[in-house]
Amino acid sequence: MVDFRKSASAKPKNSGGPTTVIAVTSGRKSQYAIQWAVEHILKKNSSCILIHVQTNPLSNKIINGVGPSHCRPPTEEEWQRIFLPFRGLCARKGIVATELVLQGANVTSALTQYVNENYISSVIVGASQWNSFISIIDFNILGVDEYEKAKLSRQKTVHAMENEENQGASSSAYIYKNIVPYRRYNIKEIEIATNYFDIDLKIGEGGYGPVFKGVIDNTDVAIKAVRPDISHGERQFNQEVQVLSTITHPNMVLLIGACPEFGCLVYEYMDYGSLEDRLFRKGNTPPIPWKIRFRIASEIATALLYLHQLKPEPLVHRDLKPANILLDRTYLSKIGDVGLARLVPPSVADKTTQYRLTKAAGTFCYIDPEYQQTGLLGVKSDIYSFGVMLLQIITAKPPMGLAHLVQSAIDAGSFEQVLDPSLNDWPVEDALSCAKLALKCCEMRKRDRPSLATVILPELNRLRDLR
């Protein structure tokens, strides 16, 4: 073992030494990170590097926002205060730990530089002050292809502990090519839960594979099996895990766990299925009351605004449609199927700026036409899809040509005739207001679509509160 208390040399590149780094501070959260790493990542007789970052921005020249960093052995005082408490946790499992102090302008730049320069395969962090590093390293790993090729010689897997203040040693682990907490299932558990993928338990067919109803821990769940033969199936799986495991919102479907080896995703079970099935009354189900339809529209808009305001990057769903809205037995709605969602640079929150992708993705009739033609993606790309869905909520009609149909009915003074005929108590004037809002959302140009926060959501909240 290299004792950094006695040696000033850091782990050299390609040394063949340990590739798991655990970033520590003197706080209790680091103890949770070490404990989790020892129990889940590190094997007996393996080794790891414990790193503490000491910042001194005034002593480092910052170039382009990134300060240079260097490593050194800890002083005796640092070793006693910071590293000694963690030695016992590792030693009890037969794990050799070496200690290292990084010095740099800031935590993020110092740790990111060390990870990139020393071919680190795993990084484990456990305290809230590492959040800025998480944001940077996420982009290094899962950013646009051009950035990855330029900055990384190979992918790294980042592991972390949940860092919320009310979490303890039982916090979930982040374990999938990103800072992602989820429960891991093996394929045997999935097979037993679905009675070996019994066709009678199949409850749907998503764009990336069939969905089965199952039972795990005496709880009903929905299990999606991503088909291995589809293009980009693994990417969609990774994206679904990344997005749903790192956000919490009452109107976003809950991811319970996953079996990454076989591409299976385990979600909470939503009793009433999709909004699409209920609008079209699949299985002869009763029509959704108009009050509940307005409430659903408000809930979806609320969740969408949450995604668009995520920090540090907004998230664009890219495949918003009734089939991807799930309902429970009280008609509580949740957005699901986020396999196409993309984190985009913060500038896209500005309505005049978009993020260029090489190929448009989504579902025909719901794709933003400007995005489809130019490849320019922005948060208002979702607004177009939402507008089409809003029209379906009040008409229960297929999406193709729906905006033209509704606009023509309004112009002809026959709007009431396009409302869902399964209901006879529509508040026509309020439904008309909803339709006009939806048509604005369906404008061909992004810049002509209304703001979700200041225009769409206030009106939908008004409609939700109608009595």
Angstrom distance (rounded) from CA 457 to CA 299: 9
Residue pair 160/125 in contact by the 8 Å Cβ criterion: yes
| Cβ neighbour number for residue 157 with a 10 Å cutoff | 16
Buried b (16+ CB within 10 A) or exposed e, 32-64: bbbbbbbeebbeeeebbbbbbbebeeeebeeee
Element (H, E) at 380: helix 379-395
Residue pair 325/274 in contact by the 8 Å Cβ criterion: yes
350 is catalytic: no
Query: Among candidates 98, 107, 88, 99, which has minimal Cα distance to 35?
Result: 88
Angstrom distance (rounded) from CA 117 to CA 153: 10
Where helices occur in 161-251 by DSSP H, the ranges are 187-193, 233-246
First to last CA, the chain: 72
Where helices occur in 58-193 by DSSP H, the ranges are 76-78, 84-91, 107-117, 131-142, 145-151, 187-193
Residue pair 263/233 in contact by the 8 Å Cβ criterion: yes
Angstrom distance (rounded) from CA 147 to CA 142: 9
Residue pair 220/269 in contact by the 8 Å Cβ criterion: yes
| Cβ neighbour number for residue 466 with a 10 Å cutoff | 11
Token code pair at residue 245: 């495991």
Q: Which of 138, 319, 337, 368 is catalytic?
A: 319
Query: Among candidates 395, 165, 182, which has minimal Cα distance to 280?
Result: 395
Query: Among candidates 115, 109, 6, 20, which has minimal Cα distance to 56?
Result: 109
Query: Among candidates 5, 6, 36, 7, which has minimal Cα distance to 20?
Result: 36
Catalytic residues: 319
